[in-house]
A and B are shown apart, each in its own frame.
Chain A
Amino acid sequence: MSDFVLDVQNVSKKFRRGEMYDSLRDLVPGIARRLLRRRPAPDLNRREFWALRDVSFCLRRGEAFGIVGGNGAGKSTMLKLLTGIMRPTAGRLRVVGRLSALIEVSAGFHPDLTGRENIYLNGAILGMTREEIRRRFDDIVAFSGLEEFLDTPVKRYSSGMFARLGFSVAAHVDPDVLLVDEVLSVGDHLFQQKCIDRMNAVIHSGATVVFVSHNLQALSTLCPRSLLLERGRVQMIGPTGEVIRTYLRRGQQERAVDGDRTIGLTNVITHDASRPRNQFESGDKLYITVEAQARARHEDMSVVIQIVDDNQYPLFDTCTQRLGAPPITLEPGQTLRCTFVLDLSLAQGSFHVNAFLHRYVTNKPFDSWRAAATFFVSGAEEVRGVVTLHPQLVTCDVQSGVAVPPEVRPAP
């Protein structure tokens, strides 16, 4: 028991929809209504809902733990309970040591104060002592890259500068437990890389990290274990890869051919030769299986698959027609199932599969499904970018006395 730094036991949190009594004007009719009715107003209970229900998990020292879930799943409420901003309606929650949160990192800033003054203010708000801040001041400034603007009031900062300064202060609090909520979207990609490096350093220093993000790639590299929340309940706790797979499948299962549609794509999965997978090594074989169902006769069809990056930029596409398959015809009630296999010459990152059901000749789409499946690629350490072109070093010699031809000599 004692080696758990963070212990959450059957925690529930109830919220209320709509407005509360906020002034006397609302209070008086509210009380009158209550007095007139014998029983407490029944709509009171209808207005309440559980933002979290019976959530339990324990974290050991030095563990990095992810929380995954869609919007409204209760992730932010969980973090607010962990920080102590809110108290749970029921259940028990224990944190050992200093907890620090990379959430709303700029909330403590005062717009009229300068960057320098705000570093001291925000540091104190986040729980650092003045001595600690003084000691780390130069690191904080260097991390933020805002040396020139230290004596400018932060109200004159751009929103990016504002957020960077906030993150820089928060990142230099030495916590025992660190909570991170979607702050990696701050700044340009160089700053984001700095943030991820900093988080890795915090994890390696032995702190416990709880990481909430929609950036599944970052989540899967940082956290070995994760929790999947859905509508306030724990769906699963386990290895991050499995949790992400479950999470992604949940969003995608709810597709069926119904209503006016008489044909449609029903399932798109990535897998290896034997079973479903969404984590691959660069150079693996990637299998994509697409299923479609028809409720009426459709003919002259082809299936198109497209690989896109996080910004839906197309990297690759192919289709049954181009691969030599004849036009597909489906009778009512028939299911189409086709499997592609690709050589995964991608560099590390997260990628999505778009699937389309096209008319064979005119390219009129019967159905399209964007981001139908998501997969991650790791490995290929030697390359950066989107694809790997399988580089090999042929020569790398140092030679002396070789005259550089005049036409390639740089202009003085």
Chain B
Amino acid sequence: MFQAMSETFARRELLYILAWREIKVRYKQSVMGLLWAVLMPLVIVCSGLIVRYGFAQVSGTPLALTDFTSVAVKAAPWAFFVAALRFGTNSLVANTTLVTKIYLPRLAFPVAAVVAQLLDFLVAAALIAVVLGFARTGLSVHMLWLPFLIGVLIVMATAFAIIFSAASLFLRDVKYLVELFLTFAIFFTPVFYDSALFGRWASLLLINPVSPLLEAISTTVIQHRGPALGWVGYSVVFTGLLSVGALALFAKLEPLFAESV
């Protein structure tokens, strides 16, 4: 396990170049090019806004500006998480020729797939920062949590990507399961709404380890309060265990890759 990690680290240039390939190929022969990176989270934010508007109409409460900014601030990380898992899961199956014909640290594939999604995320985040500026959201010391929260989210996405990419080499079902899971996950993740909306059932929603992170991003950036430490702690522990499990699983399965594709 540590050998696989150190080998991947030693060949980190490979990781960069795989991520670069992913990005380059994604926007080749497309008219919009990098604009897609902006458009995707924009669509999520807009649909979130419509949902939020619907909520406001039904419940009779007026739509506040913070509702809009909170959806925006959660939509971008969520879009990143979904894309990272989707591309991460396919990263090994899509590269079977490389996996079976050339030796290279295979851990680089799922990791590079996640890294490649970071560019889109950065573009979207920059856009949102501008929007927040216009909305006069303001700054606070609690925003220092942001890099940490996003870091945990990235690690969690990577760990999932590592597990699913290896598993889908053996069982193609995994790909469809992940798609199914990602399609419905938006209902069980507080992106368009806050978990507080569910009153005493809120903790049920927060069991989803992504939820506390998104909520915390919204509380620290929009409401300028500290995050719910207990739940964030839960996400961090979950991510830690998941990462160790993912690396152990990957190290166990990797010798079988070339024969089992």
Contacts and interface: CB of A to CB of B under 8 A. Distances in A.
Contacts of A20: 260
Interface in B1-24: 11, 13-14, 17-18, 21, 24
Contact of B171 (A15, A23, A99, A124): A23
A131 to B, nearest CB: 9
Nearest to B25: A112
A117 B97 CA distance: 19
A126 interface: yes
A200 interface: no
Interface stretch (A64-72, A103-111, A227-235, A314-322): A103-111
Interface residues of A, number: 31
A190 interface: no
Contacts of B29: 112
Given A86-B255, A107-B101, A112-B28, A125 B14 contact: yes
Contacts of B101: 85, 103-104, 107
A180 interface: no
A279 B139 CA distance: 84
Contacts of A86: 255, 258-259
Given A23-B172, A24-B173, A86-B259, A110 B25 contact: yes
Interface in B108-166: none
A382 interface: no
Given A23-B173, A110-B21, A110-B25, A80 B258 contact: yes
A327 B98 CA distance: 62
B13 A130 contact: yes
B172 to A, nearest CB: 6
B247 to A, nearest CB: 18
Nearest to A105: B102
A127 B11 contact: yes
Contacts of B13: 124, 129-130
Interface centre among A99, A121, A125, A130 (most CB of B within 10 A): A125
B176 to A, nearest CB: 10
B104 interface: yes
A15 B29 CA distance: 42
A104 B98 CA distance: 9
A83 B103 contact: yes
B71 to A, nearest CB: 35
Given A112-B25, A112-B29, A120-B17, A125 B258 contact: no
A22 B260 CA distance: 9
Contact of B17 (A27, A104, A121): A121
Contacts of A153: 28
B14 A124 contact: yes
Contacts of B260: 20
B100 interface: yes
B24 to A, nearest CB: 6
Contact of B259 (A15, A22, A124, A129): A15
- Which of A99, A113, A124 gathers most chain B CB within 10 Å? A124
A16 B90 CA distance: 26
A153 B102 CA distance: 22
B18 to A, nearest CB: 8
A121 B21 contact: yes
Contacts of A112: 25, 28-29
B24 A104 contact: no
B260 to A, nearest CB: 7
Nearest to A14: B259
Contacts of A27: 171
Given A113-B21, A124-B14, A84 B171 contact: no
A124 B25 CA distance: 17
B12 to A, nearest CB: 10
Interface string A127-171: 101100000000000000000000001000000000000000000
A108 B100 CA distance: 11
Given A23-B173, A107-B98, 4 more contacts: A86-B258, A104-B102, A121-B21, A127-B14
11 contacts: A24-B171, A24-B173, A27-B171, A86-B255, A86-B258, A112-B25, A112-B28, A113-B21, A124-B14, A125-B14, A129-B13
Interface of B: 11, 13-14, 17-18, 21, 24-25, 28-29, 97-98, 100-104, 171-173, 255, 258-260
